[in-house]
Amino acid sequence: MKHALQEMMERRKAGEKCGIPSYCSANPLVLEIALRRAKAQNTPVLIEATANQVNQYGGYTGMLPKDFYKMVLDMAAKEGLPEHQVILAGDHLGPLTWQDLPEKEAMSRSEELVYQFTRAGFTKIHLDTSMKVADDPEGLLSTETIARRGAKLYKASMRGYEELKAEKPDAIRPVFVIGSEVPIPGGAQEAEDTLEVTSPDAFRDTVATYKRVFEESGIGDGWNDVIAVVVQPGVEFGDDQVFLYDHDAATKLCGALADYPEVCFEGHSTDYQSAECLKNMVTDGIAILKVGPALTYGLREALFSLSLMEKELVPKEKRANFIEVLEKAMLDEPGNWKKHYHGDEKQLALARKYSFSDRARYYIGQPVVTEAMDKLFANLKEYPIPMNMLHQYMPITYNKVRDGEIALDPKELAMDGVSNFMADYEYAVAQ
């Protein structure tokens, strides 16, 4: 069975301007709505777990690759979505999580990481060796170093696949994403004035170096498994800024794809782009659109609106106080936001609530926060939201409830915050 992304690439070679969103999230509500929308539209859905979310040590979710794989497929079965329509992927697989270790140890852990992902059944693997490790010399990593480390990870991944295939002969062969200009996972950490687009020469050098290194490493045929290259097409976001896609600025880079019809570009940090910007990216060859923080941002935004309505409707002693519970959880364990947010106490408080980088996503799954969310939903079922109040706090969702597209149910209202972002991506990749 051919990989769905290879089928997509064949369609692009035939002239179709098709693409696919890549949903990078481990949040159960985000995953549920992604699977549900794929079922409704009869389309494949690409779901990615990042190396810091899921790894051989559990990541911040506490899940091994096999655990995440099973969770998503169990959820898909519950939604009635066939397994073959679910593409599970590993994002930023490499030394990202172990940058403080020397190369030998960091790469050993990275090889085990990609092995476990592929062994579990993940079929899209991002080989990210662009991050420096503890004993790397000063300055930027050379493309040669990145490619040689990438070749090692490819071998480890294929070892996992061969073992899986021995158990499941119909196991789909994985496809790979490479690249040396990989944006920071989760958005920029500092405010930026400009954003430099990857040069066509840098892209060509990446491809040429990987091809040569694969040949020298005895895995020349492995290039046939590579479907995308990560570049910087000029999109990024930070706490309160978004760099929108500029077709003209990316013309030369995207034009270079004509010489490499076997690959497309994978766009990282596409969160908060307009629907038209996303559409232009797909048309220009950036066919895989990765989005993560925006999805939980949309969920958080909806949950805050529900919490504000709760304050209007529910007696004080019964309230879930979701906003306050989330804030306390973030203050009690500041490790996942403190080094990413900057400014005085007021600025930090605003960033914890509203930053586009959405470090709140690390806390929404904590038991105390989940408990508050469930209580919020229960309260708003007991004290139903009037339509006029819904219009005040969630006007886009109000229209969908009014038109019978979704139910006036607090959980559905929360999930619609995610749907609003997903709809832009669905528009962008539609033919």
Q: Which two tokens stand for residue 249?
A: 């600025």
Question: What is the C-alpha to C-alpha distance for residues 174 and 69, in angstroms, rounded to an integer?
Answer: 14
pLDDT mean across residues, the chain: 96
Question: What is the C-alpha to C-alpha distance for residues 230 and 181, in angstroms, rounded to an integer?
Answer: 7
Q: Is the pLDDT of residue 187 over 70?
A: no
Compute the average pLDDT of residues 235-240.
94
**Band (217; pLDDT cuts 50, 70, 90):** very high
Specify whether the CB–CB gap between 266 and 288 falls below 8 A: yes
What is the number of other CB atoms lying within 10 angstroms of the CB of residue 247?
14
Question: What is the C-alpha to C-alpha distance for residues 394 and 401, in angstroms, rounded to an integer?
Answer: 10
What pLDDT is stored for residue 150 in this prediction? 98
The helix (H) or strand (E) run that includes residue 81 is: none
What is the number of other CB atoms lying within 10 angstroms of the CB of residue 210?
27
What pLDDT is stored for residue 309 in this prediction? 98
What pLDDT is stored for residue 345 in this prediction? 97
Helix 143-167 × helix 200-216 angle, to 10°: 50
Compute the average pLDDT of residues 48-55.
96
Question: What is the C-alpha to C-alpha distance for residues 275 and 231, in angstroms, rounded to an integer?
Answer: 20
The helix (H) or strand (E) run that includes residue 99 is: none
Q: Which residues contact 96 (CB under 8 A, 6 or more apart)?
A: 51, 52, 128, 131, 185
Question: What is the C-alpha to C-alpha distance for residues 422 and 34, in angstroms, rounded to an integer?
Answer: 8
Q: Is the pLDDT of residue 186 over 70?
A: no
Q: What is the pLDDT of residues 117-140, one digit of tens each?
A: 999 999 999 999 999 999 999 998
**Band (69; pLDDT cuts 50, 70, 90):** very high
**Band (147; pLDDT cuts 50, 70, 90):** very high
Compute the average pLDDT of residues 377-383.
98
> Who has greater pLDDT, 410 or 181?
410
Q: Is the pLDDT of residue 221 over 90?
A: yes
pLDDT above 70 as % of the chain: 97
Question: What is the C-alpha to C-alpha distance for residues 207 and 213, in angstroms, rounded to an integer?
Answer: 10
- Residue pointed to by tokens 């030369």: 252
Compute the average pLDDT of residues 326-341.
97
What pLDDT is stored for residue 184 in this prediction? 57
Q: Is the pLDDT of residue 48 over 70?
A: yes
Q: Which two tokens stand for residue 295?
A: 């999805």
What pLDDT is stored for residue 1 in this prediction? 82
Please give the domain boundaries of the chain with CATH numbers for all domains: 4-291 (3.20.20.70), 296-417 (1.10.400.20)
**Band (347; pLDDT cuts 50, 70, 90):** very high
The helix (H) or strand (E) run that includes residue 401 is: helix 395-402
- Count Cβ neighbours within 10 Å for each residue of 359-391 and write b for 16 or more, e otherwise: bbbbbbbbeebeebbebbbebbeeeebeeeebe
Q: Is the dihedral of CA 146, 152, 155, 161 positive or negative?
A: negative
Q: Is the pLDDT of residue 24 over 70?
A: yes
Q: Is the pLDDT of residue 181 over 70?
A: no
**Band (11; pLDDT cuts 50, 70, 90):** very high
